[in-house]
Amino acid sequence: MAVYIDADACPVKAEAEAVATRHKTTMYVVSNGGLRPSQNPLVEMIYVPDGPDVADMWIADRAGPADVVVTGDIPLAAKCVENGAQVIRHNGERFTQANVREQLAMRDLMADLRAADPFRQGGGKAFSKSDRARFREALDAALRRTSSHS
């Protein structure tokens, strides 16, 4: 059982570390570098080479049914869900077999719309304290579910 963090641009690394530590679960923080190492013995920093999707591939190759993945990357989420892992967004929303294909399709549609209208400006809402709280609750619940199945 492990927690995998897609760490580049992840706003909830500290929250994930606190929850994983409370559950005495190893946490892999995967990035291209530039992150300060944690002194926590349960946290392993994984630095992958620069390149498109290298961190995602590292996570997807390892995460399975006993694991929890934290990412906002929908293609990575789809691969991990397919492998049986529980996958959580930074705001606590879960990716599931039931919703990940729809989210992939929506992502592709939005990319097509942005390509068709280069002046289209987009941006999500700001990340809030309530998003952080929902994330902590979702990760805690995912780790409880995972440990009850091991």
pLDDT given at position 123: 60
Which residues are bridge partners to 26 per DSSP? 2
Cα atoms in the Cβ-side hemisphere of radius 13 Å centred on 115 = 6
Long-range CB contact pairs, 73-76, < 8 A, 24+: 73/6, 74/100, 74/103, 74/104, 74/107, 75/104, 75/107, 76/6
Gyration radius (Cα) of the chain, Å: 15
Q: Helices 129-149 and 13-22, interaxial angle, to 10°? A: 30
CB atoms within 10 A of CB 41: 8
Cβ–Cβ < 8 Å for 97, 141: no
**Confidence at residue 3, expressed as pLDDT on a 0 to 100 scale:** 98
Residues 56 and 39: their CA atoms lie apart, in Å, by 24
Domains of the chain from N-terminus onward: 2-149 (3.40.50)
pLDDT at 16: 97
Note the pLDDT of residue 127.
82
Dihedral angle of Cα 98, 99, 100, 102, to the nearest 10 degrees: 120
Q: What does the pLDDT read at residue 150? A: 57
Residue 15 backbone phi and psi in degrees, to 5: -65, -45
**Ranges in the chain, pLDDT < 50:** none
Q: What is the pLDDT of residue 146?
A: 85
